[in-house]
Amino acid sequence: MNISAFGLSAILTLLIAIPVMGTDAVFIAVPAIRETFSTDPGNIQLAMTSYILSFAVVQLLYGPLSDRYGRRKVLLASLVLFTLGSTLCATANSLGWLIAARALQGIGAGSGPTLARAILRDRHGAKQSIRLLSYIMAAFGVIAMIAPMVGGVLVENIGWPAVFILGSLYGAVCIALVWFGLEETRPTEWVAARGISSNFQSYAVLLKSRNFMLLAGANTAIYGAMFAWIAGAMFVLIEGLGQAASAAGIYYAVSVVGFVLGSALAGRLQLHLTPLQVIAAGIIICLAASIAGWSISGIRTPLAVIVPGFVVMIGIGFVVAPATALGIGPYPEMAGAASALIGFIQMAASSLTVLAVGYIYDGTAGPMMILMAVLCFVSLGFYFPFLGRLRERLISR
């Protein structure tokens, strides 16, 4: 296999976007699923949380396993699980079945973004991967923008199981692309040099790294704000404001345009600014927009919800790719483990955020925006130690 740089980027984008098939495309169906199983918002979010939490935990296995056995083998095995889990979700006839199938779907989805980031680090090194990941995240944002619109149409015209069938088809496409188009990128010398136990011991090294943990913390809090938005916006638009699922999907997609713009702009800004400066700007944008969204949450119109969300997503686009790449960059010999640990921390925290959104929802955007603002303050707290190093283009361990 001799894949072009563009072809590799396309495959990595699709792999990074696998979680979208279990989150953005599915959150639009949550009100309909809730109606089917006659339960409250908090309980129905358990089906979302089981996916996110299993997704988070399994990344801790995929990273070291891929460092030892190769990215490609691990990807193929996990993509089969994702496709199977998606199919089982579509056939669920009880909330318990759906929660279990969602957990399997999350287990299968966990390798996509984790190993895509590691593959990017394998091929392009620390410095170039920061810019490239920003552009890939912009392309990812396009998929995240389309998915809820398609999901809304499917829910209205076929029913909520159709969004899971969409996930099954997406998984099958990814399996074919990895099988036929993706070569192994992990350096072969690592196999002889490191045993599987030492691959898992990588986590001890990473957890002791102050820079790594601070970047992971700042990134995680901002990621949590994004999931608060994803989970809460659908409830506010569909149940609080009475919008149809297809209309809510379009409104949500507009906010995702902000993430696309933010990610693309972050890639461009890094030609003139350091990654640390771009991250700082993103956190401040998210915080200001969340506070503004809370201040106008009493205005019960879609625009009063979407406009602040749009700006928040711009800020998130500034933060996610640079913070992730900076965290992974200093660890070429354990790129899979570093990517996995970042992903685990992000998604474990986000699962709690999603659950919290279900229980604090009061029919307005107010609680969601407050939660987002709090998470932005937390992110700023993790980032504070870097303020004296804003001119550094790359950071050491």
Please write the tens of the pLDDT for every residue from 180-221.
Answer: 888 777 666 555 445 555 656 778 888 888 888 888 888 899
Low pLDDT (below 70) residues in the chain: 1-5, 41-42, 124-131, 134, 186-200, 335-336, 388-397
Kindly tell me the burial class for residue 198, based on how many C-beta atoms sit within 10 Å of its own C-beta (0-12, 13-18, 19 or more).
Answer: middle
Query: Are the C-beta atoms of 105 and 18 separated by less than 8 Å?
Result: no
pLDDT at res. 334: 72
At residue 219, the pLDDT reads: 87
**Are 102 and 47 in contact, with CB atoms under 8 Å apart?**
yes
Average pLDDT for the chain: 82
- pTM of the predicted protein model: 0.72
Task: Tell me whether residue 347 is exposed, middle or buried, using C-beta atoms within 10 angstroms of its C-beta: 0 to 12, 13 to 18, 19 or more.
Answer: buried
Rounded CA-CA distance 75/183 in Å is 11
Q: Nearest Cα to 59, choosing from 118, 114, 100, 1?
A: 114
Q: Which pLDDT does position 88 carry in this prediction?
A: 94
Contact predicate 26/77, CB 8 Å:
no
d(CA 115, CA 354): 24
Q: What per-residue confidence (pLDDT) applies to 192? A: 45
Give the chain's end-to-end CA distance (angstroms, integer). 34
69: left (phi over 0), alpha (psi -120 to 50) or beta: alpha
